Every structure is written in structure tokens, then in C-alpha cells.
């Protein structure tokens, strides 16, 4: 088994740095659990690079690193905001769409370079994730990997829900204003109009933010693709961690199946203030 080359190490460091810069423009919200961190646990055949990147090379060069940014948390935040909004005080809006539960997501930055002589394919379907729990309260669990298309579909549904709420808000306030004018006087209720405008503007801003997040996701989340010999590419592998406690300690065991090879990666999840 070949050790990772200096070229491969520098390539992975550059990739991680460029991705970090690209993701800085994303909206910031509190992380799922800022008290927890992910630490690379490399095997003797692997190297640890920039930002806990584990570099593995057999025939092909593969690296994996935990993504610590706020991109996925921003998406989760807007899903939760939409659900909260739909449980609001206006029945005409709350009943317009069923409550859709959001799910917490984490991701890893996967980089692959085809160092062989034949084309290879990469996709999120070729990644498996298991959390080996260190707690009696949480059994070890298989973590679902969310495909690119499933994630984009979920974003589209969230945006549609926000747009539907915007339309319902305008309709609801207009109906109330119309009833007041017909039953009492023809005077305009500016308090009601201002409340409607504020709510509509809030929803429009939420929709615009979701659109920006989706555009960034479309660029960065791993898509199914074919790499010719010598080619490389990267993307975020997104995982649904809704079935685990966000405070749980343990090891993420991640296996990638690349061009007939298995590359195994381990990341230790622990509190920042706990000695390793």
C-alpha cells in the first residue's frame, strides 16, 4: 500500500482551504452542538492533513474531512423557522400546509483523485457511515447518507412552503381588512396593513436566503460523476443524524467504495473541553 504523496497532501490541503473560503459567505446560525468536535483518527497507512483531513491512498487518492461550517445548519434553521411559522396563531395559515419535520444534518468533505488507468464513478451511494457510540444511553447506529437529489428536493419543498405561506398571509390579511371595511367603515387599518407588509417581507427574505443556500448546495454537495484517469473532484457528503443524541460521544466509522477499493476513515466525536 502506498503512502500518501507530498503532492496528494498539498492537493488535499489546498482543496480544504478553498472549500472553507467558498463556504464563508453562507448565512450563519448556531451550530447543532458547538461543544462537540470531530478529531481525525488515522490508521498507520494514512496521513492527517489540514483541518482534520484524513488522506488515504491505495491505487486512488481519497481524503475525507469533517465540514465544520454553517451551511447545513442554515438549511435546518430555515426548516425549523417554517415549521414554527406554520404552528403560528393564524389558523388560515397554519392549516394551509402540513407540518414537515426538519432533520439535523452534518457533512464531510470527500476528495477523490483517479490515479488508475480506468474511469471510476463516485457518488454518495458509495459511502456508508456508522456511529460507534461510547455511551450506554445511545446504541451504535447506522447513519443515513442523503443523496444530492434528495437534498435538493427537500430544499424545493421548503421554498414552496415559504412561498405558500407568503401567499396565504397576503390573502388572510386582505380578507380581514375587507370584512372590516364592509361591516364598519371604509377607513383603512394601517396597523393591519403594516403588520401584513412586515410579515410578507420577512417571508420573502426567508425565501431569498433559502435560494442562496440552495445555489451554494448545488455547487458543493457531491453529485454522481465519472472521473477519467488523472481527474479529481470533491463534494460534501451529507448525513442525517436525526437518530442520534447531539451530545453523544463516539467514533464515526466511514467507508468509501471507490473504483473497487475500500477506504476507511474514523473521526472521534467528543466535547471540546475533554482530554483526548
Residue pair 125/224 in contact (Cβ under 8 Å)? The answer is yes
Q: Cα-atom radius of gyration of the chain, to the nearest Å?
A: 23
- On the question of pLDDT at 274 being above 60, the answer is no
pLDDT at 95: 34
pLDDT at 176: 59
Question: Can you tell me the mean pLDDT for 132-144?
Answer: 86
pLDDT at 139: 84
pLDDT at 226: 97
Q: How far apart are CA 173 and CA 113, in angstroms?
A: 56
Residue pair 213/85 in contact (Cβ under 8 Å)? The answer is no
Question: Can you tell me the mean pLDDT for 161-175?
Answer: 70
45: nearest Cα among 4, 75, 92? 4
217: nearest Cα among 79, 22, 41? 22
Instruction: Band the pLDDT of 248: cuts 50, 70, 90.
Output: confident
pLDDT at 125: 93
- On the question of pLDDT at 247 being above 50, the answer is yes
User: What does the pLDDT look like over 93-115, one tens digit per residue?
Assistant: 333 333 444 567 888 999 999 99
Question: Can you tell me the mean pLDDT for 155-160?
Answer: 78
Instruction: Band the pLDDT of 3: cuts 50, 70, 90.
Output: low
pLDDT at 92: 37
Higher model confidence: residue 62 or residue 274?
A: 62
What does residue 243 show for φ and ψ, rounded to 5 degrees?
-95, 10
- On the question of pLDDT at 146 being above 70, the answer is yes
| Pairing assessment for the beta strands 232-240 and 141-146 based on DSSP bridges | antiparallel
Higher model confidence: residue 86 or residue 248?
A: 248
Q: How far apart are CA 46 and CA 37, in angstroms?
A: 21
- On the question of pLDDT at 122 being above 90, the answer is yes
Q: How far apart are CA 75 and CA 104, in angstroms?
A: 9
- On the question of pLDDT at 275 being above 70, the answer is no
Higher model confidence: residue 171 or residue 240?
A: 240
Amino acid at each position: 500500500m502506498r503512502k500518501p504523496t507530498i503532492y496528494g497532501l498539498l492537493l488535499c490541503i489546498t482543496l480544504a482551504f478553498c472549500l472553507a473560503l467558498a463556504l464563508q459567505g453562507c448565512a450563519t446560525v448556531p451550530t447543532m452542538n458547538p461543544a462537540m468536535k470531530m478529531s481525525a483518527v488515522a490508521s498507520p497507512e494514512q496521513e492527517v492533513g489540514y483541518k482534520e483531513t484524513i488522506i488515504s491512498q491505495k491505487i486512488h487518492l481519497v481524503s475525507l474531512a469533517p465540514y465544520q461550517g454553517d451551511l447545513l445548519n442554515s438549511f435546518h434553521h430555515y426548516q425549523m423557522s417554517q415549521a414554527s411559522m406554520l404552528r403560528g396563531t393564524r389558523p388560515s395559515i397554519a392549516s394551509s400546509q402540513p407540518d414537515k419535520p426538519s432533520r439535523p444534518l452534518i457533512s464531510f468533505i470527500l476528495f477523490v483523485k483517479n490515479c488508475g488507468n480506468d474511469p471510476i464513478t463516485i457518488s454518495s451511494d458509495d459511502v456508508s457511515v456508522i456511529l460507534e457510540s461510547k455511551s450506554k444511553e445511545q446504541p451504535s447506529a447506522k447513519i443515513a447518507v442523503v443523496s444530492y437529489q434528495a437534498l435538493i428536493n427537500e430544499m424545493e419543498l421548503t421554498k414552496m412552503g415559504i412561498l405558500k405561506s407568503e401567499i396565504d398571509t397576503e390573502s388572510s390579511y386582505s380578507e380581514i381588512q375587507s370584512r372590516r371595511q364592509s361591516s364598519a367603515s371604509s377607513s383603512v387599518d394601517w396597523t393591519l396593513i403594516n403588520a401584513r407588509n412586515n410579515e410578507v417581507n420577512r417571508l420573502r427574505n426567508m425565501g431569498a436566503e433559502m435560494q442562496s443556500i440552495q445555489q451554494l448546495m448545488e455547487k458543493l454537495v457531491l453529485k454522481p460523476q465519472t472521473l477519467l484517469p488523472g481527474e479529481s473532484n470533491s463534494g460534501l457528503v451529507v448525513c442525517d443524524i436525526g437518530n442520534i443524541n447531539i451530545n453523544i460521544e463516539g467514533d464515526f466509522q466511514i467507508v468509501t467504495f471507490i473504483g473497487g477499493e475500500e477506504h476507511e476513515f474514523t473521526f472521534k466525536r467528543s466535547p471540546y473541553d475533554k482530554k483526548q
